Structure formats: C-alpha cells, structure tokens
Structure 1
Amino acid sequence: MGKWVYVLAALAFGVKMVVLVHPTPESPLAIVAQVVTDSGIPNAVSAIILRNRLYDTVCEVIVFTIAIMGVQGIMADERPLSRIYQLTDAPSVVLAQLGATIAALVGVELALRGHLTPGGGFAAGVAGGTAIGLIAMTSPPELLQSIYQRWHISTWEKLTVMVFIILSVLTLIGWEPPQGKLGALVSGGMIPVLNMLVAVKVTLGSWAMVLVFIRYRGLL
C-alpha cells in the first residue's frame, strides 16, 4: 500500500509541474528587481543565497564542516613530517606577507559590505583562508598551531556554525531585524549577520585544514 502512495504522489507532482502554468515576470530584470525589493539590499546574489535559497546555504555550511572533519580524520593515522620547509628568502617572505595583508583586508571588506557590493561570506572566507595560507608559508608551523590552540579556534568555529543555523532557522520562520534603508551598511535584515558568520566559519575552517595539510604534507 505504501508503495502506491509514493507512486501516486510522484504522478501528482509530475502533473502539477507539467500542467499548471507558473506566472512568469515580463523580463529577467523584473526578477532581480523583485529580489532587491524583498531583501532590502542591492546585491541580489547575496539576497538569493542568504534569503531565497537559505536552505541550500545552511546545507553548504554543514557540508564544509563535514569536509574539515574528513580531512582531519583521514590525516589522523598518518605520521607527521619530520621537517617542514618554509619560504625563507626575503623577497618571497615580503611578498607573501604583503599578499596576506591585502587578502585579509579584502576579506573584511567582503564580509562587512558583501550585501551592498559584489562579494559575500563565502568569498570573504576564501580571502581570509588565503591570508592564513600565505602566513603559514613563511611562519613556523608550531607558531600557528599554538595560536590555534591558545585561542580555541576549533571551538569558535563550531559555535559559529551553531549560531548560523539558529539565526537561519529564525529567518526561515519569518523573524528578522528591520531591513533598513536600501544601500545603507546596516540594512538587509539578517543577511549581513549571516554573511559575517559564514566569513568567520570559512576562514577558521580553512585555518584548520591548512594546519593539517602542512603538518602531514608540507607546502604543496
């Protein structure tokens, strides 16, 4: 009996998709305008990722967390390298540190203003992870590892994921701060907050993976 229920449900869904006509806007620009109006931010991409398709974004954050756990689990049984070579020549060190500074500043900019300009939490997290990777290429691995443990970065990463999921659930059930003025830094309801949480999560997760890869693989 249960099998026929699933078959009938699938048939009904197919009929609904084929027979019923969905209303379409006059042009694609009308869709973008509607997204901007509903979200209160000019960046329609961030509005779709963190509002219209928030379910997908929550799953992407969870998948990234699982990927970090997978990397740590796979490498756990391997033997760390006895010696890790770093970049030591002065030009390379200066360029790497300069690149890390620029990447970090870009990450902060994308996290804070990603709802107003091209960018967002994931892009900001990638920039932050790039900055950490460049620093790791020119610093002793023990230094980054000690900072990671001293400030309990792993705990902060997990807390960031939990807060992101809680705020996402509140947004999905209809609760969020006022949208504010379109184009203002404090606007878009929950979207800027979610952007910053994603940026922090991706940055800290990238930090964890960089440390693991350098410890067991060196500078790839």
Structure 2
Amino acid sequence: MKWVYVAAGIAFFFKMLFLSENPAPTLPFSIVDAVVQDSGVPNAVSGIILRNRLYDTIFEVIVFTIAIMGTKYLLSNERLPKKVYQFSDESSIILARLGATISALVGVELAIRGHLSPGGGFAAGVAGGTAIGLIAMTSSTAWMQGIYQRWHAATWEKISVLIFILLSVITLSGFELPHGDFGALLSGGILPILNILVAVKVALGSWAVVLIFIRYRGLL
C-alpha cells in the first residue's frame, strides 16, 4: 500500500512541476486598499482579523479559553511538588525583570496602536504573557498566586471574553461605530476596542497557564 502513496506523491510532484496552470485572475482594484477603506485603519491585517474575518477570530478566542480551562482541569488533581525550582541568582533575576519591563511596554504599545501599525491583540497578549512569565520565573509562586487572586485576574479574563463576543455579535449584525479620522489613535470604529480586549484576554490567560505549570512542574 505504501507504494501507492509513493506513486501518488511522485505524480503530484511532476504535475506541479511541469503542468502549466491558468494565470491568476486580475482584479480592477487592490484588495488591500479595499480592506483599509472598509475598516478605516491603515493596518490591513487588523482589518481582516477584526472585521472581515471576525467570525473566525471569535472562535480563536474561544479555543484559547478552552485550552486554558483544559490546562487547569488536567493539572488540578496532581500533587504539588515539595520544591519548585526557579531562577534564584541575582543576574538572572535582573535580566528577567528587565526583559519583563520591555515586554510589558511592547504589549501595551501593540494593544493601543495595533490597528495602526504591525501588531495586534494576539501579539500584545503574548508580549504581556511573556512579561508575566519572566516575573513568575524569578518570584515566589505564592506571591504571584496571591496577586492573581487579589486582582481577580480570572474574573477579568472571563469578562473580557464575554464583552469581546458581545461586541463582535453586534458588529456582525451590521452596527458599527464611526471610523473617525484615518490614521488617528481613535479610528477604526470598534477595532481598537476589540484589539485591547483580545490583548487582555491573551495576557491574563497566559498568566493563568504560566502559574499552573510553574506551580506543578517548576521550570522545565
């Protein structure tokens, strides 16, 4: 049976190599320019993710939420290790916290201006989660867990998801905010708000996952 797969692979290779394909159709307008004009933001990627492809983005956020819930469920019944190994030398702590500061600043920048320049909510959330992870690697697990519970991070994570889904449904129903001045910080209608909500959700979700893995696994 494997020879059938090999023959099919060889045939497909020569088909792609020698057989000519029809030229791609040309459009009388630029797709990128159309996306930018419809979304009201210069970053066409944000326009596609948070407007043209918003239906898919909703389920991406939901999948990320389910992944966090699954991590909590799978590790909740495990025994806590007697000792959690973390970085304790001064040089590692200084470098980690310096990197965390830079990552946090980058995350805030991407969350606020992601609709105007390369970046976006997911990238901002990853940068924020990286900052939190670097702090967690060099800090007490109990201290990080206390901050997580004191600020009700899990609750805010769920609230951000619900608000994102609600605003997305309203947007998909055809209701949009005014686009404002093109290229301005307050432009693009609902896109900057959705961008910030995704950033908050991903950062807080990453915080939860990092805490769980360090608590039960330490630094692998």
- C-alpha deviation, 1:77, in angstroms: 1.6
Would you say how many aligned residue pairs link Structure 1 and Structure 2?
196
- C-alpha deviation, 1:26, in angstroms: 3.3
1:95 equivalenced with 2:92 (yes/no): no
| Residue identity matched to 1:99 | G
* Cα distance in 1 for residues equivalent to 2:28 and 2:138: 55
What is the correspondence of 1:126-165 to structure 2 with a 5 Å cutoff? 126-165=126-165
* Cα distance in 2 for residues equivalent to 1:24 and 1:189: 31
| Residue identity matched to 2:104 | A
- C-alpha deviation, 1:87, in angstroms: 1.1
- C-alpha deviation, 1:24, in angstroms: 5.8
TM-align CA RMSD: 1.1
The residue number in structure 1 matching 2:5 is none
- Runs of at least 4 residues of structure 1 off by over 4 A? none
- C-alpha deviation, 1:170, in angstroms: 0.6
The residue number in structure 2 matching 1:6 is none
Alpha-carbon displacement from aligned partner over 1:3-47 (angstroms, at most 9, x marks no partner)? xxxxxxxxxxxxxxxxxxxx96236xx000000000000000000
Alpha-carbon displacement from aligned partner over 1:89-121 (angstroms, at most 9, x marks no partner)? 111111000000000000000000000000000
- C-alpha deviation, 1:187, in angstroms: 0.2
* Cα distance in 2 for residues equivalent to 1:218 and 1:89: 16
Alpha-carbon displacement from aligned partner over 1:155-207 (angstroms, at most 9, x marks no partner)? 11101100000000111011121001110000000000000000000000000
**TM-score, normalising length: structure 2:** 0.87
Alpha-carbon displacement from aligned partner over 1:129-167 (angstroms, at most 9, x marks no partner)? 000000001100001100111111111110110000000
The residue number in structure 1 matching 2:78 is 78
Unaligned runs of 5+ in 1: 1-22
Secondary structure of residue in 2 paired with 1:192: helix
| Residue identity matched to 2:28 | E
Q: What percentage of residue pairs aligned between the two structures are identical?
A: 69
| Residue identity matched to 1:72 | K
What is the correspondence of 1:167-182 to structure 2 with a 5 Å cutoff? 167-182=167-182
1:26 counterpart (25, 28, 39): 28
| Residue identity matched to 2:40 | G
Secondary structure of residue in 1 paired with 2:160: helix
